[in-house]
Amino acid sequence: MRAVLHVCTTCREVATEADPMADPATDPDAPRPGALLHAALSDAAPEGVEIRGVECLSACSQGCSVALSGTGKWTYVYGRLTPADCADILAGASAYAASADGIVPWRERPVIFRKQSLARIPPHTPLQERR
């Protein structure tokens, strides 16, 4: 079953005490970290996964964020990601695409998907099916 990996291209890094200037707003011409993450992921889509850049996932305080969705599947939003996480993001997206309902068994998820989940959203059910 096909899955979509939405990658926020407008995400900024999360400023930390160690690096309070992590936000690239200090250089308006610098590419956003979310755009860099999208570029790093775009050439390596696993089978059954479409990678789409989106302008905002409204997880701005969580650094670079992605969302996984698919028809009839739970949707997941993950944050605090970097291009160094690409292999894990792609492995998680592949496992998600192979699942029937979007729920990948806990131990089969990459660690970043276990620890950096921001939201889990139920599948959309058309109104006529809810009765």
**Range of 86's domain?**
3-130
**Number of domains making up the chain:** 1
Q: What is the pLDDT of residue 39?
A: 95
Rounded to an integer, the average pLDDT of 8-28 is 65
The pTM of this model reads 0.85
pLDDT per residue over 77-110, tens digit each?
999 999 999 999 999 999 999 999 999 999 999 9
Q: 18: burial class by Cβ within 10 Å (0-12, 13-18, 19+)?
A: exposed
pLDDT number for residue 96: 97
Mean of pLDDT values over 59-80: 95
Distance (Å, rounded) from C-alpha 47 to C-alpha 11?
A: 26
At 29, the pLDDT band (50, 70, 90 cuts) reads: confident
CATH number for the domain including 37? 3.40.30
Please determine, for residue 13, whether its predicted confidence score (pLDDT) is greater than 70: yes
Give strand pairing partners of 40.
Answer: none
